[in-house]
Amino acid sequence: MKNIPVSALIGLFFTALYFLAAIFAPLLAPYGMAEVVGDVWEPSSAEFLLGTDNIGRDLLTRMIYGGRTTIFIATMATVISFTTGSILGIFAAVSGGWIDQCLSRFVDLIMSIPTLIFALVVLSVTPVTVPMLILVMGLLDSTRVYRLARAVAVDIEVMDFVEAARLRGERTAWIIFREILPNALSPLVAEMGLRFIFMVLFVSTLSFLGLGVQPPEADWGGIVKENKDGIVYGIPAALIPAFAIATLAISVNLVADWVLNRTTSLKGGRG
C-alpha cells in the first residue's frame, strides 16, 4: 500500500469523508431534517453556515441528510447493479451457447433505449418509493455491468490457463471463482466506482424531475428542485448540491482510476 499516488489519496480521503458524514448524519447535522428554523433563503451566517432554503430550513442540515439519502440509494443500487450484472455476465461467458445468446440479446434490447427514458416509462406506472427507485436503477444499470463483466470474462475464458483447468476436470464453480474472478476483479472494481458516480447523478436527476425521492425527505437532487426558483432572483442555494456532487464524483473517479491503472495488464504483478 506504499505506492498510492497523491491523487488517489485525496480521492480516498474525500470519499471516506462523504460516507462518514452520511453514516453519522444525525450526529453531525446542527438542526432537524425538516425543522423550519429561519426565514426563507437567508444568506449564510454563523447560525446557518450555508444559509436557509425555500421554506426556511437550515441548508447545511438538508445537505447532510440529503447526502445520506443520495449516497444510500446510490450505494444500494450499485450493489444490485453490480451483483446482478457481474454474476450474470461471467456466467454467460463461461456457459456460452444459448444461455449466453439469450442473456446478451436481452441486454442489447434493454440498452437500445436510453436508461433515463426507460426509467421514466417504468416510473410512470410504478409507485415512486425508495426501494422501487433502488430496484429500477439497479436493474437498468446492471446491463452495463453485465456487458463489461462478460467482455472481461470472455477475454480471460479463452486463455490457456482456463482451458488447462477445464482439461484437469475442474467444476464450473472453481473456474468462475478461482480462475476467472481473481483476474476480472480489478477492472470490475474500477467500474464499480464509475457505476456509483452514475447512480449519484441518476438519482439526483430523477429527484430533480420530481420522480425520485419524495419530499419532505431530503436528497441532493431534491434540494435543487426546491430551491431552483431562487436562481432567477440571484440566490445560489440551488447550486450547493452541485459542489457536493462534483467533489464526491471526482473523488470516486480518482480512486477508480488508480484501481484500474494499478493492474491494467493480466500479466501484471500481484495486485
Partner 1 sequence: MSEPLLKVRDLKIGATVYPPGEKPHDIEIVHGVSFDLMPGKVLGLIGESGAGKSTIGLSSMAYGRGGVKITGGEVWVNGRDILKSKLGDIRKLRGGEVTYVSQSAAASFNPAKTIMEQVIEASVEQGKFSRRNAEARARALFAKLGLPDPDNIGSRYPHQVSGGQLQRCMTALALCPEPDLVVFDEPTTALDVTTQIDVLMAIKEAIRDTGVAALYITHDLAVVAQVSDDIMVLRNGDMVEYGSVDQIINRPQEEYTQALVSVRSIEHEEKSPTAEPVLSVRNITARYKGTKFDVLHNVNVDLYPGQTLAVVGESGSGKSTLARVITGLLPPREGEISFAGRTLTPDFKHRTREDLRELQMIYQMADVAMNPRQTVGTIIGRPLEFYFGLRGAEKKKRIIELLDEIELGEKFIDRYPAELSGGQKQRVCIARALAAKPKMIICDEVTSALDPLVADGILKLLLNLQKIENVAYLFITHDLATVRAISDNIAVMYKGKVQRYGGKTQVLSPPFDDYTDLLLSSVPEMRLGWLEEVIANRKMESAGN
Partner 2 sequence: MNPIVKLVAQRVALSLLLLLMISVLIFVGTMILPGDVAQSILGQSATPEALANLRAELGLNDPPLTRYFQWLFGALQGDLGTALTSGQDITAAIGSRLSNTLFLAFWAAVVAVPLAIFLGLLAVRYKDRWPDKLISAVTLASISIPEFLIGYVLMYLIAVKLRWFPSVAMINDGMNLWQKLNSIALPVAVLTLVVLAHMMRMTRAAILNVMQSAYIETAELKGLSSFKIIWRHAFPNSVSPIVNVVMLNLAYLVVGVVVIEVVFVYPGMGQYLVDHVSKRDVPVVQACGLIFAAVYIGLNMIADIVSILSNPRLRHPK
Q: How far is the CB of 166 from partner 2 (least distance, A)?
A: 33
Rounded Cα distance between 84 and 142, Å, is 6
Beta-bridge partners for 52: 58
Options 160, 173, 233, 234; binder of partner 1; rule CB under 8 A? 160
CB atoms within 10 A of CB 210: 13
Taking the CA atoms of 91, 145, 86 and 143 in sequence, report the sign of the dihedral they define: negative
Give the amino acid at 268.
G
Q: How far is the CB of 13 from partner 1 (least distance, A)?
A: 22
Q: How far is the CB of 142 from partner 1 (least distance, A)?
A: 25
Q: Is 154 in the site for partner 2 (CB under 8 A)?
A: no
Q: Is 197 in the site for partner 2 (CB under 8 A)?
A: yes
Q: How far is the CB of 161 from partner 1 (least distance, A)?
A: 5
Rounded Cα distance between 237 and 222, Å, is 12
Q: Is 9 in the site for partner 2 (CB under 8 A)?
A: no
Write the binding mask 109 to 128 for partner 2: x where contact by CB under 8 A, - elsewhere.
xx-xxxxxxx-xxxxxxxx-
Rounded Cα distance between 198 and 271, Å, is 26
Q: Is 97 in the site for partner 1 (CB under 8 A)?
A: no
Listed residue (158, 200, 180, 197) closest to 73, CA to CA: 200
Options 3, 98, 233, 234; binder of partner 1; rule CB under 8 A? 3
Listed residue (12, 18, 13, 11) closest to 63, CA to CA: 18
Give the amino acid at 270.
R
Beta-bridge partners for 57: 36
The length of the chain, given as a count of residues: 271
Could you tell which of partner 2, partner 1, none binds residue 266, using a CB distance below 5 to 8 A set by kind? partner 1
Q: Which residues bind partner 2 (CB under 8 A)?
A: 108-110, 112-118, 120-127, 197, 201, 204-205, 208-211, 221, 224, 228, 231-234, 236, 238-239, 241-242, 245-246, 249-250, 253
- Contact footprint for partner 1 (CB under 8 A): 3, 159-161, 163-164, 166-170, 178-179, 182-183, 262-263, 265-271
